[in-house]
Structure 1
Amino acid sequence: MSKEKSSKTLMVFGALIIIGVITTLVFLCLTKYNPHYWDDVLLSFGAVNLIGVCFLIYIKEIRIKEKWSEIPLVAKFIWWFIFVSNSYGFIDTYMTAFIF
């Protein structure tokens, strides 16, 4: 993959994360005046978690590929911890927002 294409991809993921975090913070501030925005906060936070999961999959499957076996065990543990926690956060927030 060319360096230019990968840097554009990283910029898109970065922009999506920033937009999601700003949206979450705006909705969180609005809940002070209207508690009905809490579901929007959960949905926005869930979207940030989903983008994080997609970014981690992109890093592992597109950027690292076959070099995954060369990565130290501690780095793999950190990657899996972040992946599982973002996945759990996404599932939890969407279940809370839509089901409960």
Structure 2
Amino acid sequence: MSKEKSSKTLMVFGILLLITIVSTLVFLCLTKYNPHYWDDVLISFGAISMLGVVFLLYIKEVRIKENWSKIPLVGRTIWWIMFIAHSYNFIEQFMVAFIFR
């Protein structure tokens, strides 16, 4: 993958992450005046975790590719812990926002 294409991809991830963080903070501030925005906060926070999962998959499948086995065990363990944590948080936030409320 060329440097230009990978930098554009990382810029898109950064912009999407910034948008979701700002929207989460805005909804969090709005809950002070109207508690009905709490579901929107949970959805935005879940979207941040979803972007984390997508970014981790991008790193593993596009950037690292066949070199995954060359990464030390500690690095792969950290990647898996981050992947599982983001996946769990994404699932939990969306379940709380849509099912349990």
TM-score, normalising length from structure 1?
A: 0.98
> In the alignment, which residue of structure 2 is the partner of 1:44?
44
User: Where does structure 1 lack aligned partners over 5 or more consecutive residues?
Assistant: none
Question: 2 CA distance for matches of 1:10 and 1:39?
Answer: 29
Task: State the Cα deviation string for residues 42-69 of structure 1 (Å, max 9, x = none).
Answer: 0001111111100000000000000000
> In the alignment, which residue of structure 1 is the partner of 2:87?
87
| CA RMSD, 1 decimal | 0.5
Aligned residues: 100
Amino acid paired to 1:58: Y
TM-score, normalising length from structure 2?
A: 0.97
Matched position secondary structure for 2:6: helix
Shift of 1:92: 0.1
The 5 A counterparts of 1:1-100 are: 1-100=1-100
Question: 1 CA distance for matches of 2:36 and 2:6?
Answer: 40
User: Where does structure 2 lack aligned partners over 5 or more consecutive residues?
Assistant: none
